[in-house]
Amino acid sequence: MSDLLERLQRLGEVGRTGEGIERPLFSEAEHQARTLLAGWARASGFDVQQDAIGNLFIRRPGAWASPPLQTGSHLDTVKGGGRYDGAYGVVGGLCALEALARRGVEMRHPIERVAWAGEEGSRFPKGCLGSSVYAGLTTRQQALALRGDDGMSFADALRGPSGLLAEVPVRETPRMPCGYVELHIEQGPILERNGLRLGVVTAIAGQRRLRISIGGEAGHAGTVPMAYRRDAFNAAAEIAVELERAARRIGECVATIGMVRVEPNQTNVIPGRAEIRLDVRSVDDERVRRMIDELEQLARAVRERRNVSIELEPLEERAATPLDPALRGAVRTVVEALGHPVFEIPSGAGHDAMCIAKVAPAAMIFVPSIGGASHVGHERTAPEDLQLGVTALAETLVEADRLL
Amino acid sequence: MSDLLERLQRLGEVGRTGEGIERPLFSEAEHQARTLLAGWARASGFDVQQDAIGNLFIRRPGAWASPPLQTGSHLDTVKGGGRYDGAYGVVGGLCALEALARRGVEMRHPIERVAWAGEEGSRFPKGCLGSSVYAGLTTRQQALALRGDDGMSFADALRGPSGLLAEVPVRETPRMPCGYVELHIEQGPILERNGLRLGVVTAIAGQRRLRISIGGEAGHAGTVPMAYRRDAFNAAAEIAVELERAARRIGECVATIGMVRVEPNQTNVIPGRAEIRLDVRSVDDERVRRMIDELEQLARAVRERRNVSIELEPLEERAATPLDPALRGAVRTVVEALGHPVFEIPSGAGHDAMCIAKVAPAAMIFVPSIGGASHVGHERTAPEDLQLGVTALAETLVEADRLL
């Protein structure tokens, strides 16, 4: 199983820029990552295929000619991302299949390990792109028409030298899996803070993103009395402070203002305009709705009190994705059998499992992130935890094979 | 006196970029503005001189060989500035001298109108540069060594084709004035809101500027529970809201957070770092000190409560400049004689009068800014108010001539 660490190490060099990694979809680096994975899988005797959108499959046949049981994750990264987000589930899936093969475990269902194309929205303006097309939530035409941040269309990038792998056969129609289990790093601090090594994911959080645009009046920082001011940044600051309080009061949800823009952004000028972006998430859609209600009330109050304009523009909205009770049960059984406490944890981040859960029972297994760090170059998970996760994945696939 | 409006109009075309004006010190546009002024003054029969630092003087001799009574302002502008800030006092000073000459008013003191070099810090990193050197607050060597935002030294710019005027004699040692009266637009909304046309300036506000740097912990916007967060932007927002409250509570002072920077400034990442810059002003230094005390207490509390680092770095500090009681009295006498209510008003913005007030009695006269707008292309003052201000300046010079 030390192949796991060596391969992750190797993959961590592909697209490395300083401490972080940059592997946008259909970049040279991302193409090289897929090539490496295909080579490792072939060397281990697995059949390698891709579909017309760039998802990469390796397959271990089962006793039945049934729909496959799938596991997977992604190989693309955010700018300056880490070596485990996505790559761990892909490499871990391969290692789990190898372990099952080595042990000669006979399974009823074919098992497929998928590397989904473009989970991070790392080049084209849509996250979970490959899994979304696979599950029929996005049409192939919609995907092909997307334009990347470099101006190139998805269709052109797919046909280009860093698109589909040259020597890998292309599957025709996708066959929906009978079940899906995704192994992933937590990307948050909860497992570590609770001294746990495995997490059984309950659901993937729903999310709302909004742009909050505030229009006040610019003015000289020295000459306009406080009582006459319509300071757009102070209005934004008040909204930020109140939204943070609301999120704590409502509970089991998170609210983040990660992006802030102020105009003209000069020390000696009262801000005339401010834009902040709000990201709200919870596995309970009702709590997200309550946060948006709070925001709307707050916007009305601040607008009135400060004589500023406030516009709320929805940017993204997705409902929470509960994971499959039976498959979650299979993960719980395995975690207990491995001698670990069963700990149920929500996923605040989105994953390909969100899309596949729309067409098949899906579950997720988390391993801890050291310091909760993710999407950064110093994203780390202890080697023992990485290996424990792969063991849990292999056992869960066996358990699911019996169950489904 | 309609020369006033025509000249301001003409000067408003020099360095125009779209709606605004850009005339940094020793730029082609600023040089052209000085050339125009020198030409107008010569055509009106005044003697024109400059000093070795670029201050431009026109002079009407008096009966006495005494130190001169001066009036003045500046010709440089901020980027995208307006046509009245500075230029009004310079052109208005010329028009006042012309009016006195036309009326044959005999005065005891020589009268000088000065265009001070580089009041705005428009190119070199120091405001009120020309008046500061003149008053001996900055040495000539310090000024010559300054580097502009284009990398050129003040010394080289001064010697360059847009530096000193070629055909104007250079004065040797400056002679401190016996009194100084500056005419300026208010740059704020107070006169307009009170329906007034003239303001007697009481003092120029003292100012403190600080950089507030906050270090928290970046993290995934979806995966880090609220209770575990060390959000640098929310800490900044709390400080902003509390400082605004403090400024209103303390009164007669203004506090502005005009510049905000957040890292990494991405919607899906909890801000790990934030920087805000605070500008505090009051004509009462004690109120500025109380604001800084509030900030320090707030920083301690927020640091503790949110487990973030907060550093306060002073960027600028200047004490308030009270204007001369006797010369203010002269302005009040003139305002009353002109049939206007006497309204005393602090100056929140800095002016060349700050420097000259260190070496001579100084006063300022304000006229209203429409909508309080300044440092913007749509900076406006009604023509009647512009002309009234020049009349008030001319009369104040006569009054001061008698008084000093």
Is A79 near chain B, with CB under 8 Å? no
Q: Do A373 and B219 touch (CB under 8 A)?
A: yes
Reduced to 3 states (helix: H, G, I; strand: E, B; else coil), residue B271 is coil
Per-residue confidence (pLDDT) for residue B340, from 0 to 100: 98
Cα of A370 to nearest chain B Cα, Å: 12
Q: How far apart are CA B156 and CA B147, in angstroms?
A: 9
- Give dist(CA A231, CA A218) in Å, integer: 7
Tell me if the bond preceding B264 is cis, omega within 30° of 0: yes
Q: pLDDT > 90: what percent of chain A?
A: 94
Whether residue B258 and residue A279 make contact (CB cut-off 8 A), yes or no, is no
Q: Do B294 and B255 belong to one domain?
A: yes
Mutate to test the interface with B, among A220, A262, A369 (most CBs of B within 10 A): A220
Nearest CA in chain A to B243: A234
pLDDT digits (tens, 9 = 90+) for B227-275: 999 999 999 999 999 999 999 999 999 999 999 999 999 898 999 999 9
Q: What is the mean pLDDT of residues B303-313?
A: 98
Angle B53-B358-B392 from CA coordinates, rounded to 5°:
90
Residues A324 and A314 in one domain: no
Cα–Cα dist B337/B324, whole Å: 20
Q: For residue A122, what pLDDT band results from cuts at 50, 70 and 90?
A: confident
Do A54 and A136 lie in one domain? The reply is yes
Give pLDDT tens digits for B371-386.
999 988 999 999 999 9
**DSSP bridge pairs for A365:** A183, A200
Q: Chain B residues with CB inside 8 Å of A227's CB? A: 248
- B277 Cβ partners below 8 Å, 6+ apart? A267, B209, B210, B211, B212, B257, B258, B259, B315
Question: By three-state DSSP, how is residue A366 classified?
Answer: strand
- Residue A194 with chain B: CB contacts under 8 Å: none
Q: B223, B226, B229, B347: best mutation site toward chain A, by most A Cβ within 10 Å?
A: B223
Q: Which residues contact B123 (CB under 8 A, 6 or more apart)?
A: B24, B25, B26, B27, B76, B148, B149, B150, B157
Q: Is pLDDT above 60 for B36?
A: yes
Which tokens hold the place of B102? Answer: 């036309």
| Residue A257 contacts B, CB cutoff 8 Å | yes
Flag whether residue B313 sits within 8 Å of chain A, measured between CB atoms: no
Q: Do B254 and A222 touch (CB under 8 A)?
A: yes
* A240 and A312 share one domain: yes
On chain A, the residues whose CB falls within 8 A of the CB of B287 are: none
Residue A149: pLDDT over 90 = no
Asked if the model's pLDDT at residue A208 lies above 90, the reply is yes
- The Cα–Cα gap between B284 and B252 comes to 8
Q: For residues B126 and B146, is the Cβ–Cβ distance under 8 A?
A: yes
- Contact at CB, B220 and A375, closer than 8 angstroms: yes
Q: Identify whether the C-beta of residue B256 lies closer than 8 Å to the C-beta of residue B291.
A: no
Interface of B with A in 160-219 (CB under 8 A): 186-190, 193, 205, 207, 209, 218-219
User: If DSSP states are collapsed to H, E and C, what string results for B279-313?
Assistant: EEEECCHHHHHHHHHHHHHHHHHHHHHHCCEEEEE
Average pLDDT over residues A51-61: 96
**Which residue in A has a C-alpha nearest to residue B217's C-alpha?**
A373
Domain CATH number, residue A398: 3.40.630.10
Cα distances from B152 to residues B64, B120, B129, in angstroms, run: 42, 17, 16
pTM exceeds 0.95: no
Give pLDDT, residue B174. Answer: 78
CB-based contact, B221 to chain A, within 8 Å: yes
Residue A1 pLDDT grade (very low, low, confident, very high; cuts 50, 70, 90): very low
Same domain, A292 and A154: no
Domain final residue pick, B260, B283, B318: B318
Strand B344-347 versus strand B199-204 pairing type: parallel
Partner-chain contact B376 A218, CB within 8 Å:
yes
B146 and B32 within one domain: yes
pLDDT one-digit tens code per residue, A255-295: 999 999 999 998 989 999 999 999 999 999 999 999 999 99
Rounded distance between C-alpha atoms, residue A92 and residue A4, angstroms: 7
A170 and A270 in a single domain? The answer is no
Q: Taking CB atoms and an 8 Å limit, are A267 and B277 in contact across chains?
A: yes
> Each residue of B251-287: b (16+ CB within 10 Å) or e?
eebbbbbbbbbbbbbbbbbbbbbbbbbbbbbbbbbeb
Q: How confident is the model at residue B172 (pLDDT cuts 50, 70, 90)?
A: confident
Q: Which residue in A222, A256, A262 is closest to B270 by CB distance? A: A256
Residues A134-145 have pLDDT tens digits of: 999 999 999 999
Helices (H), A13-111: 28-43, 87-102
In angstroms, the CA A229 to CA A238 distance is 15
CB burial of residue B152 (10 Å; 0-12, 13-18, 19+): middle
Contacts of A193 in chain B (CB under 8 A): 228
Say which of B219, B234, B257 has its CB closest to residue A244: B234
- Final residue in a domain of this structure, among A266, A297, A318: A318
| A232–chain B Cβ distance below 8 A for any pair | no
Residues from chain B contacting residue A226 (CB–CB below 8 Å): 244, 247-248, 254-255
Q: Are residues A239 and A181 in the same domain?
A: no
Residues B15 and B146 in one domain: yes
The number of angstroms, rounded, from the C-alpha of B33 to the middle of its chain's C-alpha atoms is 18
Q: Considering CB atoms only, which of A188, A255, A279 is closest to B267?
A: A279
Residue of B220, B250, B354 to mutate when probing chain A, most A C-beta within 10 A: B220
Going by C-alpha positions, the residue among A260, A267, A279, A375 that lies closest to residue B262 is A260
pLDDT at A215 over 60: yes
- Cβ neighbours around B86 below 10 Å, total: 29
Q: Is B256 on the interface with A (CB under 8 A)?
A: yes
Chain B touched by A248 (CB under 8 Å): yes
Out of B254, B258, B315, the one facing A226 most closely (by C-beta) is: B254
Q: Is A370 on the interface with B (CB under 8 A)?
A: no
> For A179, phi and psi rounded to 5 degrees?
-170, 160
Distance from CA of B339 to the nearest CA of A (A): 26
pLDDT given at position A364: 98
Average pLDDT over residues A77-85: 93
B368 touches chain A (CB under 8 A): no
State whether B262 and A260 contact (CB < 8 Å): yes
Tell me if A225 and B254 make a contact (CB, 8 A cut-off): yes
> Per-residue confidence at B175, pLDDT binned at 50, 70, 90?
confident
Residue of B218, B244, B374 with shortest CB distance to A223 = B374
What chain B residue is nearest to A236 in terms of C-alpha separation?
A: B237
Query: Which segments within B319-367 are labelled E, that is strand?
Result: 321-322, 344-347, 362-367
Q: Are residues A97 and A197 in the same domain?
A: yes
Q: Name the A residues in 340-359 with CB < 8 Å from any B CB.
A: 347-350
Residues A294 and A397 in one domain: no
Please judge whether B219 and A186 are an interchain contact, meaning their C-beta atoms are less than 8 angstroms apart: no
Nearest to A254 among B222, B236, B281 (CB): B222
Q: Are A363 and A331 in contact, with CB atoms under 8 Å apart?
A: yes
Q: Complex ipTM above 0.85?
A: yes
Q: Give B347's pLDDT tier (boundaries 50, 70, 90).
A: very high
Kindly report the average pLDDT of chain B as a whole number: 96
Task: Tell me the residue range of the domain where A389 lies.
Answer: 2-205+320-403
Q: State the count of interchain CB pairs (< 8 A) between A and B.
A: 207
Do A197 and A217 lie in one domain? The reply is no
Angle, CA A382 vertex, CA A376 and CA A384 arms, to 5°: 150
Q: What is the pLDDT of residue B149?
A: 85
CATH code of B223's domain: 3.30.70.360
Identify the residue among B230, B268, B347, B375 best suited for mutation to test binding to A, counting A beta carbons within 10 A and taking the highest: B268
Per-residue pLDDT, averaged over B168-182, amounts to 93
Q: Do the beta carbons of residue A266 and residue A273 sit within 8 Å? A: no
For B177, list phi and psi in degrees, rounded to 5. Answer: -75, 160
Please say if the pLDDT value at position A66 is more than 50: yes
**Total tally of structural domains belonging to chain A:** 2
Distance from CA of A167 to the nearest CA of B (A): 37
Domain boundary among B283, B318, B353: B318
Residues B391-401 have a mean pLDDT of: 98
Confirm or reject contact between B255 and chain A (CB < 8 A).
yes
Asked whether B88 and B183 are in contact (CB, 8 A), the reply is yes
Among B226, B258, B259, beta carbon nearest to A248 = B226
How far apart are the CA of B243 and the nearest CA of chain A, in angstroms? 10
pLDDT band per the 50, 70, 90 thresholds, residue B1: very low
Partner-chain contact A244 B225, CB within 8 Å: no
The answer to whether the CB of B100 falls within 8 A of the CB of B398 is yes
Closest CA in chain B for residue A120:
B268
Q: Which among B233, B315, B375 is the nearest to A269, CB-wise?
A: B375
Whether residue A219 and residue B372 make contact (CB cut-off 8 A), yes or no, is: yes
Q: How confident is the model at residue B279 (pLDDT cuts 50, 70, 90)?
A: very high
- For the cut 60, the answer to whether the pLDDT of residue B96 exceeds it is yes
Q: Which residues, in sequence order, are CB contacts of A300 under 8 Å at separation 6+?
A: none
Interhelix angle B383-403/B87-102, rounded to 10 degrees, is: 60
